[in-house]
Structure formats: structure tokens, C-alpha cells
Amino acid sequence: MAIARLLTPSEIGIYSVTMVLLGFIATFRDLGAGQYLVQNKELSEEKMRATWSVQLALGTFLALVVLAVAVPTADFYREPQIFNIMLVLALNFAITPFLAYPNAWLVREMRFGSIAGVRFIGALVHAASAITMAWLGYGPVSLAWANALTTVASIIAIWIFAHPSLPWRPIVHGIGDVVSFGGKLTVTSLMNTLSGGAPELLLGKMSSMLDAGLFSRGQGLVTMFQRLVMDAVNSVALPYFAKQSRESGNLGVSFLVAMELVTGLGWAFFFGIALMAYPAIRILYGPQWDDAVDPARWLAISCAFAIPAAICPPVLIAVGAVNDVLKATLLSTVVTLIATAIGTQLSLLALSQCLIVSGAIASVIWIYTARKHISFAIGKMLFAWVKSMLVALGASAASLIAILNWGWRSTELLVPALLSGTGGLLGALILAWVTKHQLWLEISRVALMRRGRH
């Protein structure tokens, strides 16, 4: 909220394009070594040292790569601020292994309390440093320094909260196993980065940094669900499914439960954003971002179509199906790139609409892939979707009432937003209770646990 008012749309666009470019390099940061450590069924000291060796070597190497390409990249986009951003982020690449290695160990041990503490400290440092530097006039490089300082703070916090006792001496033996497993996941991450960043890259080159910034802000609004919910879900999902795979091998029931929870939350959120994008963007980011409202509406719809696919990769990685993860990612990426290429040629709004098609096709691809390795009935999944859709409609009722009373772009912001938020929460809870949705069952379970403690 603060950065959107301290930096201009063009400055946000410069940073967004740079981060997308570096995202391609970042996919090679540990070659999937962290996931190798998490899912490995028989973890030894040698395997841990091999994991650390891969992360350390790649962090150093990629920092040098970023330094080497900083000048050519800035010249290509004719934007000197890209050079400064890349210098700072090269430092971040060099120090990230000292966070990634103990963090992967915490995930495997399912020490989510410690992980939460580290992330909370990192979030505070990121917000404080980014806002302070932007306020002092450092422009988009403020966000780069915020990333680097966040990594430093998180490294310190992980030692305070977790006291990790890990083998740190690098070795060569065993690196091949890490790279063999993680290399496929790295290619998968590279394709995800390509499909996710292609719109901003093409807009920044073929249109303007302004359009890239507007798309980034609209996408930033809808991807709050990714940051607030799915990042947390994925942190738990991979070690949880991996543990179940090691112990029982039957993941069908757990997969459907996770699908119902994720679609219930996701569709409620995305329907709300599609309806209330204008007051949300005005309140969060200010009037300079009004042109991002309509793209944000369509991006929310595209995310709603894509959300069923979100729970598939962790469960497939947990069972070791990395080849099929790679294939599904490749197909989804091709579809997304085609949609992006078509949409970019037309307009920013058309681009957002084209991504709806690619999101729907991606869900079909991932669910088909998941069924090859996990036993679950399509009928039960569709029934879970019906319940989630009803919850989402219940959450949307208040937003529809607000639109009928104040219109799509009213000068009144707070009252419609409050009505939509509080009414949406109440409507979602009522429909979750009526349908016996997994969200309601989970809330009831937590309430019983807390009551039992007292």
C-alpha cells in the first residue's frame, strides 16, 4: 500500500521486469536441492552435505552471472535503473544459500512454528526497509535492497528460532543424486517463471513500462491469494504428502480434502476481487492505478479457473513423479505463452482475458496428470467443486449488493469494501456450514481442539 503511493507505475514496471528476468536465473538457485532434502525417504549426513554443496556453489555462480548480465540487460531495455537493481540482487543470490539450506531442513522436520517466526521477521524487515528507502527517494532499487536485507534478517532469525544443527562441510560425492532429482524440478520452475513473467516481459518491450507496471499491480492484487494462502499451503503440503507417501502410500483422500479447501478459499477470494477490484485498488494503491482495475478483474477470473491445478504439483513431487510434473508444466507453459502472445498483440485488457483460457486448460492438464499417480474419483472431485462454488457464491452475495447500491466505480470506497468483506465472510461461513464444506469441518475441528485445551 505504501510502495504503490511512493513509486510511480513506471518505476514499479522497471522493478517488475527486472525481477521477471532474474526469476529465470533464480530458478537455478539450488537445482531443487531443498525439495530433494524434504522428500528424501532415507536422509543421511552425506545427502545433507551434498544438498548444501549444490546450494552454495549455485548461489555463488549465479551471483556472478547476474553481475555479468547487468549492463547488457540495462542497455537492452534502455533503462539504467535496471543495472542498479541487478547489482543489489547479485548480493542477495550470494547469501541466499545460508537461508535455503536450514529452511529446507525445517520444512522436512515440519517445524512450522519456527518457519512462521522467520517469515514474520523477514516480512517486517522487508516492509520497513522498502518503505523507508522509497520515501527517501531511492526509487525502484529500494525494493531490491529490501529483498537483500530480508534475506540477512531471515538468516539471523533462523538461528535464533531454530538453532539448526546441520553438517556444513561441502562435499563432491552425492551431488549427482541431488542434481538428477532437482534438475527436472528446476526445468519445471524455469517454465513456471517463463509463463508467469512473459506478460510483463513482452509488455515492457513491445508496449511500455507503464503497461508492464499496470499489469504487475493488477496481478499483484489477485496473487495475494498465492502469497497469503498458497505459499503457506505449499510449505505444509509437500512435507505432509511426502510423509504420507512414505508411511501409507494412499494420498487420494488427502488430495480431495486439500482440493476442496483450496478451491473453497480460492474461488471466494477471486470472485470477491473480480467484483470489488475498483475499491480494493483505490484503497490499497491509490487513484494512479485506476487503469489496472479492469485487467485485475479478468486476472481474478483466470486465477479462479487455474486454482484447481495449484494443489497438484506438491502431491506429485511427494510421490516422486517428477517426470510427469515436468511434462504437465511444459504443456501448461506452452498454452500460457500462446495466450500471452495473442493477448499482448491486442491490448492489456485482452491479455488478461486470454489468460482465462490458459488457466482453464492448465487445470485440465494437471488434474489428468494427478490421476495417473493418485487414486481418486472424478465424481467426488466434482462434488467438492460444487460445494466450493456454493461457498464462493455465498461470499459474493454481499459484493453484489454493494455493486447494486453504489455501482462498479463509486466515489464511496470504504462502506462498499466493509460490506463486501464482512458480508462475504459471513456468507461464506453460512454456505460452508450448509454444505458441510471442508472449510467448516476444519474450523469446527480447530474449535474443538481449543475447547479441549481449556
Q: Answer for the pair 332, 366: CB distance below 8 angstroms, yes or no.
A: yes
Instruction: Please give the pLDDT value at position 182.
Output: 61
Helices (H), 138-251: 141-162, 175-202, 209-222, 224-225, 231-247
Q: Answer for the pair 89, 144: CB distance below 8 angstroms, yes or no.
A: yes
Instruction: Please give the pLDDT value at position 219.
Output: 82
Q: How far apart are CA 224 and CA 280, in angstroms?
A: 12
Q: Answer for the pair 66, 90: CB distance below 8 angstroms, yes or no.
A: yes
Q: Answer for the pair 47, 173: CB distance below 8 angstroms, yes or no.
A: no
Residue ranges in the chain whose pLDDT is less than 70: 24, 26-43, 174, 177-186, 190, 194, 201, 204-208, 238, 246, 248-249, 452-454
| DSSP reduced 3-state for 307 | helix
Instruction: Please give the pLDDT value at position 39.
Output: 60
Instruction: Please give the pLDDT value at position 347.
Output: 81
Instruction: Please give the pLDDT value at position 243.
Output: 73
Cβ partners under 8 Å of residue 56, min gap 6? 97, 101, 170
What's the burial of 110, exposed, middle or buried (CB within 10 Å: 0-12/13-18/19+)? middle
Instruction: Please give the pLDDT value at position 341.
Output: 85
Instruction: Please give the pLDDT value at position 88.
Output: 92
Please name the amino acid found at residue 91.
Answer: L
Please name the amino acid found at residue 103.
Answer: N
Helices (H) and strands (E) in the chain, counts: 20, 0
What's the burial of 422, exposed, middle or buried (CB within 10 Å: 0-12/13-18/19+)? exposed
Cβ partners under 8 Å of residue 157, min gap 6? 117, 118, 121, 122
Cβ count within 10 A of residue 432: 25
The values of phi and psi at residue 109, to 5°, are -80, -5
Helices (H), 286-413: 293-306, 312-318, 322-346, 348-371, 378-406
Instruction: Please give the pLDDT value at position 40.
Output: 63
Instruction: Please give the pLDDT value at position 300.
Output: 92
Please name the amino acid found at residue 67.
Answer: L
| DSSP reduced 3-state for 338 | helix
Assign residue 249 a region: left if phi > 0, alpha if psi is -120 to 50, beta otherwise? left
Q: Domain-by-domain residue ranges, the chain?
A: 1-173, 207-454
pTM for the full predicted model: 0.69
Long-range contacts formed by 201-204: CB under 8 A, 24+ apart = 201/17, 201/20, 201/21, 202/340, 202/341, 202/344, 203/344, 203/348, 203/351, 204/13, 204/16, 204/17, 204/77
